[in-house]
Amino acid sequence: MQKDPSFVDTQMKAEPETVKNRIEKLRRTIEYHNHQYYVLDDPEISDAEYDRLFKELIQLEESFPEHDDPDSPTKKIGGPPVPAFYPRTHSIPMYSLDNCFSLDEVASFISRIEKQISGSVPEFWVEPKLDGLAVEVIFEKGRYSAACTRGDGTTGEDVTANIRTVKNLPLRLVETADLPDYLEVRGEVVIPKTKFEELNTFKTQSGQKPFANPRNAAAGSVRQLDPTVTASRPLYFFAYGIGLVRFKNKDTWNRQSRIIEALNIMGIATVPTGRICRNTDELRVFFDELTRLRLDNPFDMDGLVIKVNDLSLQSQLGYTAKAPRWAIALKFPAMQEKTRLINISVQVGRTGVLTPVAQLEPVNVGGVTVSRATLHNEDEIRSKDLKIGDMVLVQRAGDVIPSVVKPLTDERTGRERDFIFPVNCPSCNSPVIRLENEAAWRCLNLSCPARLEQGLIHFAGRKGLDIEGLGKKWVSILVRKGLVCKLTDIFRLQKTDLLSLERMGEKSAQNLLDSIAAGAKKTTLARIINGLGIRHVGEQTSKDLASRFKDLDELAAAEQGQLLTVDGIGPEIASSIINFFRNPENLDLIRDFKILGIWPVNEPALPKDLALKNKKFIFTGSLSRFSRSRAKELVEELGGKVVGSVSRNVDLVVAGDSPGSKLDKAKELNLRIITEDEFLDIVKPSDH
């Protein structure tokens, strides 16, 4: 901004202390009016008056840089572009929520809780579920310090510079009696629906691609490399909870409702209209109320979140691998719109299942343009009496997944036609079969390009061998070019093979080969089992199998009785595993792993009863002998569990190099703290 010369000359004559006082007063005044406008929606001054104050503060700060403050409201206009977003690990995992779609399911959720906490009658904190980007904002001694996205729940992207620009987020908290020394606030970054429409109109008029919905707009705005772009977007932050907290004095936050109250007092906007509900009747009233008001709400919301209010009960209930047991999201009934079913295509998945997909005339359903929807299988098409050319009713289940509800038979003209399910695979032309008691048609050709492509994407993915750089694009190219005809072919790729591909240079080829070699070297038995894509066998079941069987040969030879002794495996999963290894081509694949030397072995070093059974571990600081994920696997293999937050329930705290705040908390609670070497002595892994 260009300075007003007369303004600068006048101020330069002022006493330094007077200038400093004026700057501080302006900052406090602007912060107050920001809170009135963005948080309380109750402005007390005109936009022109606010702009005058803001301009004065900018000119003073430019004229007297010795009074610069990173927490000044002028910093919300954004700084210089950042080169990239760096990973940032959460102190406590940011779990996702389990979903339900009816009040009957909520009643079952409450019943499960009451059984686990017999003798207690829980009350619940209930609030709207805003549809935005989940982020964590960190304050140290009341000042904004950092921010990161949720990411995979363990590690997110550092977006400190961008979140600083969010209009309703204070950079300094209001001083209160229980203001923490360190506070991680979790919430949702959202864009008002009206501002989203304005933003999309601007992008369209500028020749840019519009955002699909407000959530995508919020996520895209936060992930801008140039913070000034983020600052120009109408972003809001609403808190719904906390991560790690360290208090100056005694912790008084013993209820979810108390947390929300405290955050509000400190100046942090929380999800609006939250309330305490004591039973399903009160939940039903609130749910019906929000359902009626959802379209009038200024922000997109797709349901409500129900949380046990008492934090001690939350701690007692704990977590599954993915979500808290003390919270659940109740989704709104799906929004529905009418459109035409243009055609039905068939996709082939990694297990060979042929899935029909509806090709629709694009239609806006609850703010999202829908042009495709899965039809699941042939029986669904028949039971719904769908015909190509029908006008159909389309909905988004949970406001997310598009589906075809039914045809509008009254609008048929006679030109509609039946869909004939293919008798040959659309990818490899092999005959397809429908197994007894199954609704799905399958291609059994293991060399089918579509099966191989999807299987390799899964095999190389994060939960498989985690091969960096081998994404969908390159997998598709390698399969189409015939360079990969089975999973293990990726380990036989040569640089000359890769250099023959378009847009693959010398450095890129070497990087990919190095990543494949690293993936092979670091893999575990659990990762290979998961990567094979055995039907009904996911990440957790793969870990359970890897803790029971020595190697792939032992697993392949396992009988049903042996498999049923593994936790979580029933007759259906056991049969699926047995059938997989009965297939001669799959056994050839297993032999190929051994020939290639990709053969992780699990050598149990402990008695059968598992020495760490029910023991809870927490890690802080960096480990030098192995990765954090490998350390977690070692604990789980021996029956233990790795948790994210420090509490009295933790049995062992493993402190690596440069431990963080978790160590201080562990010392306060007098928990047992061990070194990495002591941890190594406990687990005695075969690969250290």
CA torsion 657-660-662-664 (nearest 10°) is: 100
Radius of gyration of the chain (CA): 29
Find tokens 């009747």 and name the residue.
Answer: 281
Residue 314 to residue 327: CA distance in whole angstroms:
9
7's tokens:
């303004």
- Judged on CB neighbours under 10 Å (0-12, 13-18, 19+), 318 is middle
Calpha distance 524→530 (Å, rounded): 10
What is the rounded distance in angstroms from the CA atom of residue 596 to the CA atom of residue 598?
A: 6
Cα 314 from chain centroid (whole Å): 21
Report the C-alpha gap between 467 and 518 in whole angstroms: 8
Packing angle between helix 103-116 and helix 280-293, nearest 10 degrees? 140
Reading the block at residue 570, the tokens are 């029933």
Burial group, residue 609, by CB count within 10 angstroms (0-12, 13-18, 19+) = exposed
- The H or E element spanning position 382 is helix 378-383
Residue 486 designated active-site: no
Q: Which of 75, 129, 307, 543 does the annotation list as catalytic?
A: 129
Alpha-helical segments (H) within 604-652: 628-637
What does the alpha-carbon distance between residue 632 and residue 97 come to, in Å, rounded to a whole number?
22
Cβ atoms within 10 Å of 304's Cβ, excluding its own: 25
Going by their DSSP bridges, the two strands 236-246 and 182-190 should be labelled as: antiparallel
Phi, psi of 393 (to 5 degrees): -100, 125
Structural tokens at position 96: 């996702």
In DSSP notation, 474-539 reads HHHHHHHTTS-SSGGGGGG--HHHHHTSTT--HHHHHHHHHHHHHHHHH--HHHHHHHTT-TT--H
Q: Which residues of 76-90 are buried (b: 16+ CB within 10 A; e: fewer)?
A: bebeeebeebeebeb
Instruction: Write out the catalytic residue numbers.
Output: 129
